């Protein structure tokens, strides 16, 4: 059974993710394109550096060729946001990206990016999933599609540089350590920064299908080498991307990891206060309410969405959004595609540092001094399916009157159950759709309160 998750279909290579199953998904995508009037436009095909990903991409191209659909196939492994941007730039029918993003090396995946250059909406993925599990006979093509190889790096880099101030960055002359984590972001961020006078060092800069034995996820525990190197060089920052470079991770000049719940608010206020951006702001239900406080200060409309960038992207497609982001490390901004872009996120951090001419740790301190302290955390509760459902339904049907000794003033049922507490703290419980666990997110104004809230969640089970 091929089942699409929040961002495409992922499975273990050679177990479920096989050439045979890949062909089924590729045929479903071809059928979608032909059925909905996109068969006369080219399809972009990209892939990350995983084992066999290039061969899987070539197999997709063969299916499209037989269906009469022209393709642009990337020359080398390429970041997801670059492939998504090519959809917009080439006015293509969409894109197929062979990637499992930040998942372990044994996984591979395939995601379809529609013509609007963002994550596929649920109606599209439902159609693709349904047809992937059927025997499909594509209509005979009048002629074979053409497959053309292409290299998008230079053109993408020229575009993405429009979001920064090269003169300010050149004048600052910052030293930056880049960590693509053996992923597709190799040779992107460091190249752009070098062009504008930064002294850069790139670590983990070769293709490694095992990602150095770690998940290619830019989390604090996976960036120890980056943190050490930043301190050794007295660099201004360390900037990381996940396996397909749609997520980001940031280390300050002291070697401290700054989570997306810190970077997104920092960039949000920077874009408004220093860059003059106007519009609204969007965050997922699991992302820091510091964004809300900044939005309130500037009288900016704030949207809250379920978890998954596709929900953020939908709003970004319909109105001017200054920044849209989620705690898992994805963001995009006004003027860019409605898709996560970790390269852009890291570039904006450098732009912020250069313009402010202050250390990143000082900028974060100034933000919390202005809007109040914020501490966020997440734990995973491994439960049986029955207990998982019991926990969520229990909170929905009988909302606790207090949690961790603090009164509950509201229950938000947008995605899972989110309890808003009287002191401004909150806790969110979301059941995993694919695993026997509940993900628990929380935020408070002190580390002690945060720990107490998360401990209370553990004690419940």
Q: Decide which of 76 and 395 is more confident.
A: 76
Could you tell me the pLDDT band of residue 461, with boundaries at 50, 70 and 90? low
Q: What is the mean pLDDT of residues 318-334?
A: 97
pLDDT average, residue stretch 188-208: 96
Q: For 202-206, 217-221, 358-362, 384-388, which range has the lowest pLDDT when averaged over its residues?
A: 384-388
d(CA 434, CA 436) in angstroms, rounded, equals 7
Give rounded-to-5 percent helix, strand, coil for the chain.
40, 25, 40
- For residue 452, the Cα-to-chain-centroid distance in whole angstroms is 29
For residue 386, name the pLDDT band (cuts at 50, 70, 90): confident
> How much is the average pLDDT of 124-132?
96
Mean pLDDT of 333-359: 98
Asked if 165 contacts 351 with a C-beta cutoff of 8 angstroms, the reply is yes
Burial (CB count within 10 angstroms: exposed 0-12, middle 13-18, buried 19+), residue 154 = exposed
What whole-number distance in Å separates Cα of residue 295 and Cα of residue 321? Answer: 12
**C-alpha distances out from residue 255 to 215, 225, 237, 240, 454, Å:** 20, 10, 8, 13, 26
For residue 338, name the pLDDT band (cuts at 50, 70, 90): very high
The token duo for 186 is 């190799």
For residue 7, the model assigns a pLDDT of: 81
Alpha helix (H) ranges present in 236-384? 260-273, 290-297, 309-318, 342-356, 360-371
Cα-based distances in Å from 164 to 161, 186, 420: 6, 20, 37
pLDDT value, residue 431: 86
> Domain 9-151: which topology?
Alpha-D-Glucose-1,6-Bisphosphate; Chain A, domain 3 (3.40.120)
Q: What mean pLDDT do residues 296-313 have?
A: 97
Amino acid 325: pLDDT? 98
In angstroms, the CA 452 to CA 454 distance is: 6
pLDDT at 387 > cutoff 90: no
Task: Report the alpha-carbon distance of residue 120 to residue 133 in Å, rounded.
Answer: 18
Give the pLDDT confidence score for residue 51 in this predicted structure. 97
The rounded percent of the chain whose pLDDT value lies above 70 is 99
255-282 pLDDT per residue, tens = 999 999 999 999 999 999 999 999 999 9
pLDDT-derived band at 383 (thresholds 50, 70, 90) equals confident
pLDDT given for residue 433 in this prediction: 63
- The CATH topology of domain 156-371 is Alpha-D-Glucose-1,6-Bisphosphate; Chain A, domain 3 (3.40.120)
What angle separates helix 260-273 from helix 360-371, to the nearest 10 degrees? 80
Residue 127: helix, strand or coil by DSSP?
A: helix
Span 79-114, pLDDT tens digits: 999 999 999 999 999 999 999 999 999 999 999 999
Q: Which residues pair with 178 in a beta bridge?
A: 202, 239
The residue extents of the domains of the chain are: 9-151, 156-371, 375-460
Domain 9-151 identical in fold to domain 156-371: yes
Residue 434 has pLDDT above 70, yes or no: no
Least confident of 246-260, 378-392, 419-433, 443-457: 378-392
Which of 175, 209, 202 is CA-nearest to residue 48?
209
Mean pLDDT of 144-154: 96
| The two three-digit tokens of residue 340, written as one number | 């996560």
Residue 413 confidence class, pLDDT cut points 50, 70, 90: very high
Say whether pLDDT at 335 is over 90: yes
Does the predicted model carry a pTM greater than 0.75?
yes
Q: Which pLDDT belongs to residue 435? A: 66
Q: Give the CATH number of domain 375-460; options: 3.50.50.60, 3.40.50.10490, 3.30.310.50, 3.40.640.10.
A: 3.30.310.50
208 pLDDT exceeds 70? yes
For the segment 448-455, the average pLDDT, to the nearest whole number, is 96
Six-digit token string for 403: 């949690």
Instruction: Say if residue 163's pLDDT is above 80.
Output: yes
Closest CA to 402 of 416, 387, 417, 422: 422
In the numeric block, the tokens 């999933």 are attached to 129
Average pLDDT, the chain: 95
DSSP letter for 49, please.
S
């Amino acid at each position: 059974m091929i089942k699409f998750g929040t961002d495409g279909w992922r499975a273990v290579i050679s177990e479920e993710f096989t050439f045979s199953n890949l062909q089924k998904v590729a045929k479903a995508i071809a059928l979608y394109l032909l059925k909905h009037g996109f068969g006369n436009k080219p399809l972009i095909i990209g892939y990350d550096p995983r084992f066999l990903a290039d061969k899987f991409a070539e197999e997709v191209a063969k299916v499209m060729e037989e269906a009469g659909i022209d393709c642009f196939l990337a020359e080398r492994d390429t970041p997801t946001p670059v492939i998504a941007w090519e959809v917009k730039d080439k006015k293509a029918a969409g894109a197929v990206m062979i990637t499992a993003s930040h998942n372990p090396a044994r996984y591979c995946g395939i995601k379809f990016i529609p013509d609007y250059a963002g994550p596929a909406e649920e109606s599209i993925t439902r159609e693709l999933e349904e047809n992937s599990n059927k025997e499909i006979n594509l209509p005979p093509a009048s002629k074979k599609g053409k497959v053309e190889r292409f290299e998008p790096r230079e053109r993408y880099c020229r575009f993405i540089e429009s979001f920064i101030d090269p003169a300010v960055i050149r004048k600052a002359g910052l030293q930056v350590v880049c960590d693509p984590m053996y992923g597709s972001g190799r040779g992107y961020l460091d190249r752009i920064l070098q062009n504008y006078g930064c002294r850069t060092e790139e670590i983990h800069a070769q293709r490694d299908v095992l990602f150095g034995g770690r998940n290619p996820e830019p989390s604090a525990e996976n960036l120890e080498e980056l943190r050490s190197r930043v301190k050794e060089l007295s660099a201004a920052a360390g900037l990381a991307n996940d396996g397909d470079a749609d997520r980001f991770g940031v280390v300050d000049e002291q070697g401290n990891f700054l989570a997306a719940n810190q970077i997104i608010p920092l960039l949000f206020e920077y874009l408004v206060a220093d860059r003059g951006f106007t519009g609204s702001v969007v965050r997922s239900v699991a992302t820091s309410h510091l964004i809300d406080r900044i939005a309130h200060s500037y009288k900016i409309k704030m949207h809250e969405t379920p978890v998954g960038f596709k929900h953020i992207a939908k709003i970004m497609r319909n109105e001017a959004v200054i920044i849209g982001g989620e705690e898992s490390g994805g963001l995009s901004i006004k003027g860019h595609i409605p898709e996560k872009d970790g390269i852009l996120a890291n570039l904006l951090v450098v732009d912020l540092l250069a313009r402010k001419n202050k250390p990143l740790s000082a900028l974060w301190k100034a933000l919390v001094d202005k809007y109040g302290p914020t501490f966020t955390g997440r734990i995973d509760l491994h439960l049986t399916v029955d207990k998982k459902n019991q926990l969520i339904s229990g909170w929905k049907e009988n909302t606790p009157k207090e949690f961790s000794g603090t009164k509950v003033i509201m229950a938000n049922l947008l995605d899972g159950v989110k309890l808003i507490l009287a002191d401004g703290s909150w806790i969110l419980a979301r059941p995993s759709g694919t695993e026997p666990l509940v993900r628990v997110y929380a935020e408070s104004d002190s580390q002690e309160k945060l720990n107490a809230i998360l401990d209370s969640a553990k004690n419940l089970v």
